[in-house]
Amino acid sequence: MIKMEDIIRDGHPTLREVAKEVPLPPSREDKKTLSDLLQYVMNSQNPEIAQKFGLRAGIGIAAPQINISKRMFAVHLEDGKGDLHSYALFNPKIISHSVEKSYLTSGEGCLSVDRNIPGYVHRHSRVTVTGFDLEGSPVKLRLRGLASIAVQHEIDHLNGIMFYDHINLQDPYYEPAGAIPLER
Ligand SMILES: [Zn+2]
């Protein structure tokens, strides 16, 4: 089971690497890592388990955050419409995206970043993502809203990008024309 001490923090070089593709079909070890990632996110949202093990709540986590530089991530969240989005993917790829941008009005956070970093992170409103599930079967997802933002945040981790890289330092609350604010 993944705990807070397994999560590397901002400044660790692995967070800045471009992670490697996972060979498919996935090995037993890679499957275990991916299911552990999903389990962490689910556990962190369960108040009893989170308290017992001191887990910080998150909606997603990527393998580089546990110092495994491989292309896999998990997200588990309920969106603004009450729909559950629970995905664990190998080798995810954004194959298309909207021109329209959105951002969380509360900004973004990250299990690898212990401080609060104010500012808007502009992302594509909608993305289409392909990848492979835990069994190695192909998956195609069309996402919008919080799920779209969370998946873009996690795919960034696979490319060595942190959420705050996207914040405009001169004007952290800059709003591009037509960008859609999202409440969480
Ligand atoms: Zn993160």
DSSP conformation letters of 5-46: GGS--TT-GGGGSPPBPPPSSPPHHHHHHHHHHHHHHHHHTS
CA of 163 to the centre of ligand 1 (A): 7
pLDDT score of 25: 97
Which residues lie near ion ligand 1 (Cβ < 5 Å)? 110
CA of 164 to the centre of ligand 1 (A): 10
Q: Which of 72, 62, 21 is nearest to 40 (CA)?
A: 62
153 annotated ligand-binding residue: yes
For residue 144, the domain's CATH number is 3.90.45.10
Buried b / exposed e over 38-63, threshold 16 CB at 10 Å, is bbbbebbbeeeeeeeeebeebbbbbb
CA of 77 to the centre of ligand 1 (A): 14
The string of DSSP codes covering 64-112 is GGGT--BSEEEEEEE-TTS-EEEEEEEEEEEEEE-S-EEEETT---BTT
Range of the domain at 155: 4-182
Q: Distance between CA 24 and CA 91 in Å, rounded?
A: 9
The domain total for the chain is: 1
Q: How would you write the pLDDT of the chain (184 residues) with one tens digit per residue?
A: 999 999 999 999 999 999 999 999 999 999 999 999 999 999 999 999 999 999 999 999 999 999 999 999 999 999 989 999 999 999 999 999 999 999 999 999 999 999 999 999 999 999 999 999 999 999 999 999 999 999 999 999 999 999 999 999 899 999 988 999 999 8
Which pair of structure tokens corresponds to residue 134? 């835990």
pTM score > 0.95 for this model? Answer: yes
Tokens 């629970």 label which residue? Answer: 86
CA of 176 to the centre of ligand 1 (A): 23
pLDDT score of 138: 98
Residues tagged active-site: 154
110 annotated ligand-binding residue: yes
Helix (H) or strand (E) holding 138: strand 138-144
Q: Cβ(112)–Cβ(143) under 8 Å?
A: no
